[in-house]
Chain A
């Protein structure tokens, strides 16, 4: 593997070509916060906590370090005032979906919940780790997203029964170990929705009861009554 030279926070670092900024930084022991990243899975770029500034002067720009590949001579700043301000805003926003974000992270960036924000406490931050694990590692595609925007959520697709789910993960739903918020494990640790159970209960991560997924799926013709 050929090596490239990059600078992170003023320190020269040698890293393998083809690495992302995040990989290079972590290899060098430099901390960059993430919530949707997992080294076993493909980068997803959704939480945007890992944003960093690259380039210098006029040409500075902000990129997601989990996706941006390094090249020789790249200059990276991971903790500028601007970047940390963005992280503070992102965390403050997420606190209104999930109230147990690790305190260390909140303290580091000074994030506080804001009384002017509306709560949407689903405890699921839509990082997609469970969905990606199910797809990339298990090849099962039992889990998936449904809806878009704020009504997006993770579901077990109704035509994928619990039995089908069990054929990939016989002992327990392994995806629960990937859930950063614990919302899957808190409900289904050691169990799984029973086969034949009424479908609305067969989507473990669907917390938002306001949305009737079956209704949506029927409407778009995905399932019939």
Chain B
């Protein structure tokens, strides 16, 4: 490809690409994101390639290997256009049928279609509830492009926004547009991106930087990874637009080393941009110069904090800086540096292309646009979902997520990752909105959403998140380092049945100090899992401390396993599976667990046939139900 030396040359190239494409042609969009790869999507793709060739369908069918579609639960995922047929859980063996039936004869392979919990078969991908209630403004393009091919991005108006900015908008106008759109930081803080840009723009200094924060570290969250894997150019285009508005010639992308596919696609995308002259000097002949370097982070959670991230870019240890001066004024090498999250940058080209009115028409008063969440935990449909801001948590979990697994009862949803908080059932009407979530002691965070059912112990959950944070604290300041250590120690004692009166007050005391006095946002938000669970599930903590009872039957030290003689039919399954020989009994007679031998491994509970459900966990003062006979 030759370098594009003007905006009209870009238009010409786009026309040329589109002229070579037929929108009516059958297109297979197969996910090759990290999630589907784990389900062997690459083998499916290889079989498809050779199958298409064998059947001589090369001219009739386009095969596009894309990034994440979102419905990771049911990977590998495929959508067949133009009809929009959705196939799920495809195995390499299914490929023959897809080719001989669907591609050759236009017949649908029923067994690969989505079946909803009521048993209804849904043919079209966009009719599936998981997709139907989403608004995939940012994430939707993943399905139509091969992230390794810049032509695919150009075909969907890629770099049109950049061209518009460079050729017909002044930097001030671009800045005004983003400010008017009230685009707020998707990384968690929700700080208005336009204000950040402006602060960097107005900061004194000739050399300024723009940075992509792709140091996504929340356990279970992978929105940013999937955008970078599936549509790296959308982030890069946003970055260039930001650089133009702020007045920067140099950008950094700080990405986790643990995201090899995202790094690969990003590197490839940057290479292609350079080939087309979208990076370097005099971009599109407009006199705008820009260079990008990709910095791979070693995977420290704290490096997602802005000043720690910038230290890391400088080659220093990723520790937050103690200064009361914003990185937009003094960041990398002391230069003004604007840092925005992956998803924030990816929104920028959309705002330019579709306009402020479009963007602000989505969302709530204070939070505009959409937000991508990784919906995980005990819901039926796990995956990445993009919803308009303001959607109720209830709708996300029950309409899109399809409710809880195995008919269990909802208990809480944890938003905002380790620094977020838990939200109980009576607050499910809350809209997802930066301010609404902060108000109840949680936060939007980067978009982690973990659904918990009745079998989840909230003390155990708080302990889990503090364990993560104790590992990830940089250890520099006392409140975070010592505060997390001792809070975790107390929680461990509570879960082990060694809780004492006063422990909960002590937890609150340390949490308040850690929140108020820590050096950086990691420490300041670290007590959130403890504080929010204490607030909404106080009775559960009290049960642990006072009655030595874990109501959810999770904390091993507080539970015992029993076999209900009224239910046990003596099938012997538990006896055979018990690793320590703690179960005795004769065939067809109720079995008994020897509590002295029992190691509480949970095996008997899991293997007991559901029709009997004779193995019961008891905690505290609980007793086996008195038999009815």
Contact = CB atoms under 8 A, between A and B. Distances in A.
Interface of A: 43-49, 51, 62-64, 67-69, 82, 85-86, 89-90, 93-94, 96-97, 114, 116-118, 120, 125-126, 128, 145, 147-152
A97 B482 contact: yes
A224 to B, nearest CB: 19
Nearest to A144: B317
B179 to A, nearest CB: 24
B518 A120 contact: no
Contacts of B512: 86
A151 B475 CA distance: 8
Given A45-B519, A64-B322, A116-B503, A89 B510 contact: yes
A62 B482 contact: no
A135 B170 CA distance: 46
Contacts of A150: 470, 473, 475, 481, 485
Contacts of A69: 324
Contacts of A152: 474-476, 481
Interface stretch (B193-201, B217-225, B444-452, B486-494): B486-494
Interface residues of B, number: 37
Given A114-B506, A116-B500, A149-B481, A67 B475 contact: no
Given A48-B517, A86-B516, A149 B470 contact: yes
A148 B486 contact: no
B516 A63 contact: no
Contact of B509 (A63, A64, A89, A148): A89
B506 A116 contact: yes
A120 B472 CA distance: 18
A151 B470 CA distance: 10
Given A45-B519, A63-B324, A89-B510, A149 B486 contact: no
A90 B317 CA distance: 25
B470 to A, nearest CB: 6
B227 interface: no
Q: Report which residue of A45, A69, A120 has the largest number of chain B beta carbons within 10 angstroms of its beta carbon.
A: A45
Contacts of A68: 324
Secondary structure dominating the interface of A: loop
Contacts of B493: 116
5 contacts: A67-B323, A86-B513, A148-B302, A150-B473, A152-B481
A151 B500 CA distance: 27
B363 interface: no
Residue of A48, A63, A90, A118 ringed by the most chain B CB atoms within 10 A:
A48
Contacts, number: 106
Contacts of B379: none
Contacts of B490: 116
B578 to A, nearest CB: 35
A97 B506 CA distance: 18
B481 A51 contact: no
Contact of B517 (A51, A126, A147): A51
Given A48-B517, A90-B513, A148 B475 contact: yes
Given A116-B490, A116-B493, A44 B500 contact: no
B478 A90 contact: yes
Interface string B338-357: 00000000000000000000
Given A86-B517, A90-B517, A125 B322 contact: no
Contacts of B481: 126, 149-150, 152
B606 to A, nearest CB: 34
A64 B524 CA distance: 13
A220 to B, nearest CB: 9
Contact of A148 (B474, B479, B510): B474
B489 A48 contact: no
Contacts of B324: 63, 67-69
Interface in B225-241: none
The 5 closest A-B pairs by CB, nearest first: A45-B322, A152-B475, A93-B482, A89-B513, A149-B473
Nearest to B511: A89
Nearest to A117: B486
A115 to B, nearest CB: 9
Contacts of B322: 43-46, 64, 67
Contacts of B483: 89, 93
Contacts of A63: 324
A43 to B, nearest CB: 7
B300 interface: yes
